[in-house]
Amino acid sequence: MKTCDHINCDKQAIYTGHIYGRVSGSDNKDSFIPVNACDTHSEDDRFYPDKPLSETE
């Protein structure tokens, strides 16, 4: 089981996708970062879902 990549969230991830943001320690350009998200965080405005995790396993 994968867990949500959101900070302070340990719910089960149901979506794989990307968020648009800045990676700490990298250069100052925003970019798409691959993440897993739970039901709640897949609704986030900055989250771009690719597909449900159940389809990848």
Given the rule CB under 5 A, which residues bind Zn ion? 4, 6, 9, 11, 38, 41
- 8 Å CB contact between 38 and 6: yes
Q: Nearest distance from residue 34's CB to Zn ion, in Å?
A: 15
Q: Nearest distance from residue 26's CB to Zn ion, in Å?
A: 23
E strand or H helix at 51, and its extent?
Answer: strand 47-52
Which residues pair with residue 39 across a beta bridge?
Answer: none
Q: Nearest distance from residue 14's CB to Zn ion, in Å?
A: 9
- 8 Å CB contact between 2 and 12: yes
Closest to Zn ion by CB, 6 or 17: 6
